[in-house]
Structure 1
Amino acid sequence: FESTGWTLDEPGLDDTNKYDMMMPSVVRPSAPDVVISNENVETEPPLELGILRQFPFSSSLQRMSVITRRLGAPNFELYCKGSPEMIASLSQPETVPSNFSEQLLQYTYQGYRVLALGWRPLRLSYRKAQQINRDEVECNLEFLGLLVMENRLKSETTPIISQLHMAKIRTIMVT
Structure 2
Amino acid sequence: MEFDMEQEAYEFYNAYGGRVGFSIQMEYFSNSRKTEKLLTRLFTCYKEGVRKKDRRDKHTTTPRVETRTGCGARIHIKYDEAKGKYLVDNFLDAEQMITNILWADPKMITDYGHFGDVVTFDTTYKLLHGNCPFALFLGVNQHQETTVFGAALMYDETSDSFVWLFDTFLKAMPGKIPKTILTD
TM-score interval (norm. to shorter): under 0.3
Q: Which structure carries more strand by proportion? A: 2
Q: Which has the larger radius of gyration?
A: 1
* TM-score normalised to structure 2 length: 0.25
* TM-score normalised to structure 1 length: 0.25
Q: Which structure carries more helix by proportion? A: 1
